Structure 1
Amino acid sequence: MSGIKVLDGKDGWLFLQNDTNRVVEQNSSALQLTESEIKKWLRTLEARVAMLKNRGIKYYFLIAPNKESIYPEYLPDDYKINDDRVVYQLINACKPYHLPVYYPVDILKLYKSEYQLYPTGDTHWNGIGGFIAYKYVMNIIKKDFNINILDWEEIEIVEKEALLDLGNKLTPPQTSLFSWGMVKQPRAQIIYDNKGINSGHMRVTLNKNTSLPTAAIFHDSFIEIIIPFLMESFSKVYLLRTPCVDYDLIEEINPDVVISELVERFLIQPPVDF
């Protein structure tokens, strides 16, 4: 029905629809990036790489997969999800320029037979899915830096019933099982939080191990579940919720690593850094 934000999938799985990014149309390729938008993305990513390289900083762009990309088997039979959708438009456009774009869809699919990686009633990955994505991107960064990467034995997965983003849109609201990861012996803590809501929310974390590199992470809500893990891999982490790279902040803190994270469905809107 038009306007309803939640799509009923199979076996009680819920999915997003009628959102501002038009995720259903993106998945079917009815809505794609225009040639102009692809060029904007390329200019933005090339500028990020070049400008950060001039400062001796490495850049990595992590794309969090949509829930539909990992669990298409739970979508309604008439739901179309195509391989030429927006995320692959961007990835394929970036390949000739060797831009550092990373999309952990294959590794998450590999683990989904062993673990549930996204809750039935939420758009985001859970603690297990987030931990797998964390290890994926950290192993890429480890090729360039001597960083600490948490292993499975160092975390504890906790589960509970919770009211999540999709279940909360139903009448009556519907809870789902949610899992998150806790570090058993944490060495890092949050030392600053501006208590912002959504865009502009900034936090700074500090690790007892000061020999590790520093990182600035520009992100959306998908990063939230993996912050406890990221804190353990860097001596200091600056987290800012924005799709853009804040060059003023970069100039001020001079990190070793810059990570951008954006969920797949948000790619339809190329960010403007300046």
Structure 2
Amino acid sequence: MRHPFTYKLTALLFALLLLLPTADCMLGLSVSFENTENRQRLRRPVFEFPHVMRYKRDFEAYYKQTFGWRDALFQVYSRWKLFVLGQSPLPEKVVIGRQGWFFLGNSENRVMDQHRGLLPWPADSLTNLLTHLHHRQAELARYHSQLIVVVPPDAQSVYSEYLPEQLVNPHRPSRLDVLHRHISRLPGIHFIDLRDTLQAAKRRYQLYYQTDTHWNNVGSLVSCAALMKHLHRLNARLPVVDSSAYTITPSPGFGGDLVRMIGLQQRIKDPLYYNVQRTDGRSLPPPDTLSQRYGSPYPILRFTGTDCSQPRLLFVGDSFSLFVMQYLPHYFSESIFVRDCRLDARLLNAVKPDIVVFEVVERNINLLSQL
């Protein structure tokens, strides 16, 4: 029979465990453990009578995200799942690939199902998208602007050999395959599918981060060269980008957004990172920030080039566009970058661009219908 002291000690420890979450909320004991799951933390809801049930629902969602020691417990759980069991702590968010590669999971627009051809275009969706782009091109033609559509592939479309065996493409056409086949029949729209270009270039350089959802500096440089080659055929004044104009230097990497989602960015670093610099040392002045009256949630950046005789560029894109800002502005008289999925007519009137590039990553190609 156990000694009464053992019972008292067990009860005391149990009570302390029950009090720890409350103590953490009041004193911030676990503040050093960062929430890195790539989602916006909910705010504490405000009670408004008579909306009792709505408050109950909102508070429950808030508490599940913020209860005491949650972030610390999640990091312990992530390490145990990955390093001990060899499994993803959040398999719908992050897929653990081979040889240190991580990939985005199905929680983001069912990206893996798209890649494997298991998520075909909904009925009439592709037709409506193509019709929308055709109308958009006709509208831009009135401004004497040319529409270029660029789709950076997801990492699994370039490095599919590192996917886990159960997620290898079963040879069904992906959404991007189907879109490419149909959009090439539309007159006046220039569609740039970068998959073949990147597949060829990866023999020499690593083009995507192993722990992040984006291409790296070399991947974006290779893609910019492909874009400029296409634009040169449309406008001979624009130069072809010569890779010898840049020096590429390997350097230690960092933990990308995929390992941040599972709280392991301090334990897992990207093994390879590239610094890319122009060999002539030329740099452009810092960009101006245009007024936010055009409705974009992000700053609209304007770069001024060195040759005022060159065309004007309006680049509308997602986070992948942040990588190309270091290259493209050198080749245009003026470059305006909008991080958005929409093209505001007021901005179009103000800029009057010669070339409009709309860039959207493969997993979000449905957003082409919002341009």
User: 3-state SS of the aligned residue for 2:252?
Assistant: strand
Residue 140 of structure 1: aligned partner:
230
Q: 2-side partners of 1:64 and 1:199: how far apart?
A: 22
Residue 85 of structure 2: aligned partner:
none
Q: 2-side partners of 1:211 and 1:188: how far apart?
A: 16
Aligned residue among 131, 152, 174 for 1:43: 131
Query: Which one has the bigger strand percentage?
Result: 1
Extract unaligned runs of 5+ from structure 2: 1-87
Q: 1-side partners of 2:172 and 2:275: how far apart?
A: 30
Residue 110 of structure 1: aligned partner:
200
| TM-score, length-scaled by structure 1 | 0.92
Extract unaligned runs of 5+ from structure 1: none
Q: 2-side partners of 1:117 and 1:39: how far apart?
A: 33
Is it true that 1:120 corresponds to 2:231 in the alignment?
A: no
| TM-score, length-scaled by structure 2 | 0.69
Query: How many residue pairs end up in the alignment?
Result: 272
Displacement of 1:189 in angstroms is: 2.8
Q: 2-side partners of 1:65 and 1:169: how far apart?
A: 21
Displacement of 1:154 in angstroms is: 1.9
Whose radius of gyration is greater, 1 or 2? Answer: 2
Residue 105 of structure 2: aligned partner:
17
Identity %: 23
Stretch deviating more after TM superposition (225-234 or 172-181): 172-181
Amino acid in the other structure paired with 1:114: R
Amino acid in the other structure paired with 2:199: K
Displacement of 1:266 in angstroms is: 0.4
Q: 2-side partners of 1:114 and 1:191: how far apart?
A: 32
Displacement of 1:51 in angstroms is: 0.9
Residue 191 of structure 1: aligned partner:
287
Instruction: Output one character per residue of 1:24-78: Cα deviation in whole Å (capped at 9) or x when no partner.
Output: 1111222121132102211221012111112111110000011001011000111
Q: 2-side partners of 1:56 and 1:131: how far apart?
A: 28
Do the aligned residues in 2 keep the contact of 1:40 with 1:270 (CA within 8 Å)? Answer: no
Do the aligned residues in 2 keep the contact of 1:126 with 1:180 (CA within 8 Å)? Answer: no
**Alpha-carbon RMSD:** 2.1
Query: Which one has the bigger helix percentage?
Result: 2
Do the aligned residues in 2 keep the contact of 1:4 with 1:17 (CA within 8 Å)? Answer: yes
- 1:36–1:148 distance in 2 versus 1, CA, 3 Å: same
Is it true that 1:241 corresponds to 2:345 in the alignment?
A: no
Stretch deviating more after TM superposition (79-88 or 63-72): 79-88
Instruction: Output one character per residue of 1:150-180: Cα deviation in whole Å (capped at 9) or x when no partner.
Output: 3222223243321211122233322213224
Do the aligned residues in 1 keep the contact of 2:341 with 2:367 (CA within 8 Å)? Answer: no
Displacement of 1:3 in angstroms is: 5.4
Aligned residue among 218, 224, 229 for 2:322: 224
